[in-house]
């Protein structure tokens, strides 16, 4: 993810995901080096996305020129049963730095702001570009979870007050 805002080459259109979108989103996940480190499989990614609505989650997709550019999995009441929680955010490599991540985060925050005062997310300690991206959007680190998912990785807890 880019560490500063960029003008999109074409505006990203963010909409709720359809069942047909989930395979493309899962493909984006398994093609991403970050998630490869976490050994996420295509089947597991697709199941996570497909099962999200059963647990209060929403998958939003961004398209540029009708091509999948990214997605976000957000739980409007997923943080402490009070706050929004971004579980996954992915932007296709070819679309990074073009405003797709900004558009997805704005849509997720708008969705959550209707029902919750703030948003949480986790970001890996080694993912410096993502940390800068979220900081630029107003997220601050409020904690850390050493070895939460992987033994050699600390997940940083980021938080933003929405209103």
Cα 93 from chain centroid?
A: 14
Q: What is the pLDDT of residue 3?
A: 38
CA 108 vs CA 14, 59, 115, 116, 134: distances in Å: 10, 9, 12, 12, 13
Highest CATH level, class, for 13-117: alpha beta
Q: What is the pLDDT of residue 163?
A: 86
- Range list of H helices, 11-153: 21-30, 33-37, 42-51, 100-113, 128-136
What residues are paired with 5 via a beta bridge? none
CB neighbour list of residue 110: distance below 8 Å, 6 or more residues apart? none
Q: What is the pLDDT of residue 85?
A: 98
Q: What is the pLDDT of residue 160?
A: 98
Domain ranges of the chain: 13-117
Long-range contact list for 22-27, CB < 8 A, 24+ apart?
22/46, 22/49, 22/50, 22/59, 24/61, 24/68, 25/49, 25/59, 25/61, 25/68, 25/71, 25/90
Q: Is 114 exposed, middle or buried (0-12, 13-18, 19+ CB in 10 A)?
A: exposed
Cα 56 from chain centroid?
A: 16
pLDDT in tens, the chain (163 residues): 443 444 545 689 999 999 999 999 999 999 999 899 999 999 999 999 999 999 999 999 999 999 999 999 999 999 999 999 999 999 999 999 999 999 999 999 999 999 999 999 999 999 999 999 999 999 999 999 999 999 999 999 999 999 8
Q: Which residues of 86-102 are buried (b: 16+ CB within 10 A; e: fewer)?
A: bbbbbbbeebbbbbbbb
């Amino acid at each position: 993810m880019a560490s500063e805002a960029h003008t999109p080459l074409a505006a990203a259109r963010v909409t709720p995901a359809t069942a047909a979108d989930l395979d493309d989103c899962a493909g984006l996940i398994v093609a991403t080096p970050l998630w490869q480190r976490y050994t996420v499989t295509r089947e597991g990614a697709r199941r996570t996305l497909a099962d999200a609505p059963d647990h209060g989650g929403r998958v939003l997709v961004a398209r540029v020129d009708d091509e999948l550019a990214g997605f976000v999995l957000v739980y409007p009441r997923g943080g402490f049963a009070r706050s929004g929680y971004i579980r996954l955010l992915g932007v296709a490599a070819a679309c990074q730095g073009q405003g797709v991540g900004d558009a997805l985060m704005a849509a997720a925050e708008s969705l959550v702001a209707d029902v919750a005062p703030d948003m949480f997310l986790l970001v890996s300690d080694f993912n410096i570009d993502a940390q800068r991206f979220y900081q630029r959007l107003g997220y601050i680190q409020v904690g850390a979870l050493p070895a939460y998912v992987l033994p050699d990785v600390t997940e940083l807890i980021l938080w933003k007050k929405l209103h």
